[in-house]
């Protein structure tokens, strides 16, 4: 059974409420996001001479599924997964710092994955998960000192570029190019929701790491529109003409074929059924910035099996 990050109508509502219908504002932001994503390109790091044969695409797929399961357990935003993957793929693609050693064996590979996820939570979530808490969640399988060391190396290798547009951000902007009659209808929520499901599927496949977030976002939205009849032929034509001014439609179509007809995703790794030995202690802390919340490291609310990449 495949595992996808949980989807709910509330998530679609949240994403759709973030849409700006002012086309001028939208195009200005898209231009900025396109400039930002140029620094997020990845290479096939599994083909480098430093990569051990024990670490391959299936290892990454297992990591992504583990991200999804842990995100569900912690009730995190799906975008945290996508951002963590951006950190993870960009770091391993760089060939700098300690990234080469991460491809030498599965344990080092997994530590980098944990660190990328931990860093994404710190940067983008309104909760604060201490490294020690993350270690407990993973049953102390990873050294806290190691996670902190890799985090520092990762940030320097990425030149502290932790602000990166996600594919879903592009989807939210691209839907503004749809006819105005759709913007204020329940149809928009359905379009966002289905695009989110497509993205949760795509993110598991290493193939999509080679495409920019704008192409993946356009691919997911286009795949959603294929399965609907909400656009007339003239509206569909108009939408794709606008989209063609932003992204390469050839790339979008190639990604779309892969998304809809690609090989099956890997089986999920085992999770210890999120053993609820005790309730998590979540406390408000006025000393934390921007109303962040601290999750206590003890008692441990759940135990998630370490990723078996």
79-111: pLDDT as tens digits: 999 999 999 999 999 989 899 888 888 888 999
pLDDT score recorded for residue 51: 72
Closest CA to 210 of 171, 145, 258: 258
Residue 306 has pLDDT above 70, yes or no: no
pTM score of the predicted model? 0.76
pLDDT (tens digit per residue) in 214-227: 999 999 999 999 87
Give Cβ neighbours of residue 182 (< 8 Å, ≥ 6 apart): 175, 188, 191, 230
Rg, C-alpha atoms of the chain:
20
d(CA 272, CA 269): 10
Residue 267 has pLDDT above 50, yes or no: no
Closest CA to 147 of 98, 104, 100: 98
pLDDT score recorded for residue 131: 62
Closest CA to 72 of 150, 123, 8: 8
């Amino acid at each position: 059974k495949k595992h996808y990050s949980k989807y709910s109508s509330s998530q679609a509502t949240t994403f759709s409420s973030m849409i700006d219908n002012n086309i001028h504002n939208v195009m200005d932001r898209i231009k900025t996001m396109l400039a930002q994503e140029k620094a997020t390109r990845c290479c096939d790091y599994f083909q480098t001479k430093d990569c051990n044969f024990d670490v391959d695409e299936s290892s990454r797929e297992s990591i992504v599924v583990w991200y999804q399961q842990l995100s569900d357990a912690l009730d995190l935003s799906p975008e945290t997964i996508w951002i963590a993957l951006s950190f993870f793929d960009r770091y391993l693609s760089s060939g700098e710092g300690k990234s080469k050693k991460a491809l030498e064996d599965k344990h080092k590979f997994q530590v980098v994955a944990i660190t990328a996820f931990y860093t994404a939570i710190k940067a983008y979530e309104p909760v604060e998960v201490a490294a020690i808490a993350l270690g407990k969640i993973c049953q102390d399988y990873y050294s806290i000192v190691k996670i902190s060391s890799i985090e520092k190396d990762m940030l320097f290798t990425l030149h502290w570029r932790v602000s990166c547009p996600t594919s879903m951000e592009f989807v939210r902007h691209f839907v503004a190019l749809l006819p105005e009659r759709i913007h204020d209808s329940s149809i928009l929520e359905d379009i966002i929701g289905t695009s989110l499901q497509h993205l949760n599927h795509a993110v598991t496949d290493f193939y999509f790491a080679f495409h920019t977030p704008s192409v993946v976002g356009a691919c997911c939205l286009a795949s959603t529109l294929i399965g609907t009849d909400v656009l007339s032929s003239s509206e569909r034509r108009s939408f794709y003409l606008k989209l063609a001014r932003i992204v390469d439609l050839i790339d979008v179509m190639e990604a779309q074929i892969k998304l809809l007809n690609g090989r099956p995703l890997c089986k999920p790794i085992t999770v210890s059924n999120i053993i609820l030995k005790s309730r998590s202690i979540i406390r408000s802390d006025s000393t934390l910035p921007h109303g962040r919340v601290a999750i206590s490291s003890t008692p441990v609310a759940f135990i998630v099996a370490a990723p078996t990449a």
